[in-house]
Amino acid sequence: MTIPDNKIYPRTNDSGTIYLKGAITNPNIMVGDYTMYNDFTCDPRQFEKNNVLYHYPVNQDKLIIGKFCSIACGARFLLTSSNHTQRSLATYPFPIFFEEWGLDKANVKSAWDNKGDIVIGNDVWIGYEAVIMSGVHIGDGAIIATRAVVTKDVPPYTIVGGIPAKAIKKRFDDATIEKLIRLQWWNWPFEKIQQSIPHIMNGDVDKL
């Protein structure tokens, strides 16, 4: 069973926490089931406007977020147009002001270095006001610390923090991580996940 695409609020009388999938309208933003976003300063339904930045359609880049992720207030995802090209001798993005300088409109994308999509795995926890840069891939089960700036890929089940973010430690030993990656519990049917919640919460990977 999956949650209805139009279901927004998972908790009664809590308008600050949403199932993010139900608030997404941009086809270049894809969010998996049960991923939640909490915002105590703004309407969380404005995630596309307030949290997904420099996401211009001309670049066709994507933000892809898996299932069962937890995204804290103020986390931001900076897409391609945050990267002024470094091929130029100038940091100024002349191509986007093509009218002013008599440039070819078709070359507007040359103003930026396109580093690719942001891809967030499943069961990822992104902390308060963390920043994820374009092109970054974050593995399943990873944790991004508060106000970290993530400029490089994060392996599965790894905790990172700092500016720029660096690995702090793995959440589990290698054998447990391998089992979790193989099990992919987030893809199980609703009923099986529901039955397994006690084992998941107690860290009993061998009982899954």
In CATH, what number is assigned to the domain containing residue 24? 2.160.10.10
pTM score, whole prediction:
0.94
Write down the residue that tokens 């990822």 correspond to: 124
pLDDT digits (tens, 9 = 90+) for 17-33: 999 999 999 999 999 99
The percent of residues in the chain predicted with pLDDT above 90, rounded, is 96
- 9 lies in a domain? no
- 73 lies in a domain? yes
pLDDT range class, residue 5, cuts 50, 70, 90: low
- 99 lies in a domain? no
- 105 lies in a domain? no
- 194 lies in a domain? no
Phi, psi of 133 (to 5 degrees): -90, 160
What stretch of H or E contains 26? none
- 103 lies in a domain? no
pLDDT digits (tens, 9 = 90+) for 66-94: 999 999 999 999 999 999 999 999 999 99
Among 55, 84, 137, 199, the active-site one is 84
- 27 lies in a domain? yes
Looking at every residue in the chain, the average pLDDT score rounds to 96
The boundaries of the domain holding residue 45 are 17-79+117-171
- 50 lies in a domain? yes
Q: Cβ distance 56 to 80 under 8 Å?
A: yes
Decide: residue 42, CB within 10 A, 0-12 exposed, 13-18 middle, 19+ buried: middle
Domain count along the chain: 1
84 is catalytic: yes
> What is the DSSP annotation of 32-97?
-TT-EEE-SSS-GGGHHHHTEES--GGG---EEE-TT-EE-TT-EEE-GGGSB-SSSSSSS-GGGG
What pLDDT is stored for residue 3 in this prediction? 72
